[in-house]
Structure 1
């Protein structure tokens, strides 16, 4: 494992910890998209099926189990906790799953490395992760209800993707067999979705103001 991937993993883990801290400490999920969190849970389920038949390392297995457990914990809080679910912006979080899931599944059936069940599901998870943040970004733009923890959560997710791109570049330069174009293209698309957010995030951070996105 190289430093870029380790940093990416740590930013990813930290983003989830920040989100769980917001929910547990404030007993509120206001400003958080349940749609995005459920999409991430679906991403992890499809991607980490190899937990049942393949072992790479203790670190690898620990991270996979952690991401699965935290993803479903967040969804459980937002759906079933009596206090937390009352703060959910249900009327604003209306992005339809089908517009993300259906195209990604169709693309995974057509463009994949091998046409097997596990490979198609893994590829589907790569495509879906690239766009899973969209409901969250749309919700933030609609409500303008962006507290510091929510903004930091999204910023950390963006940093995670940025370091993973550096990881892919490093592996391309050092591992000549590393040619995962599906991962590269999806990662670049996902990172590009954060560009507008990071622009306004940087401006507000510099001015020490609360984040606001243009309507």
Structure 2
């Protein structure tokens, strides 16, 4: 009886740990009430309760459960120079999407409160462009592995075929070049010395 309970518990644990591909795993398009953060939220201006712009959303903060818990707002500075980054919890923002536009408000925000807020510190350093390029290269190589190998083999075969076909042509060209060189030498150095008068 105990082994049966353990087996059932283990089966339930394994089934719970492995994600099932349900009918709602994939979807072809977003709902009219949904939008992409990159399209409307990232870069959106943040307004105070009076409608004055106090910053702009630069990034999202996502927790270990993949839930958005806050945003990074860039405040102060001019055109991004001298700008301070401040983390703001998601519940402190009012986000409304209507008519293809997103309106973000932070009713409790003032320029003084944002200036006094601690600057946001990253837990991990950002990934540089060189590392991103290397990661993208690895990704492309992984995606194109079999196709790459097939193309490499086809290129090798094409090279060998072209080399084989070019062999006789190259030899003929070399022979014609030797003959032309010999004629040029004969023209500049005649074999009979000139006769003296």
TM-score band by shorter chain is under 0.3
Bigger strand fraction: 2
Using structure 2 for the length normalisation, give the TM-score. 0.18
Using structure 1 for the length normalisation, give the TM-score. 0.17
Return the structure number with greater relative CO, CA threshold 8 A, min gap 6. 1
Larger radius of gyration: 2
Bigger helix fraction: 1
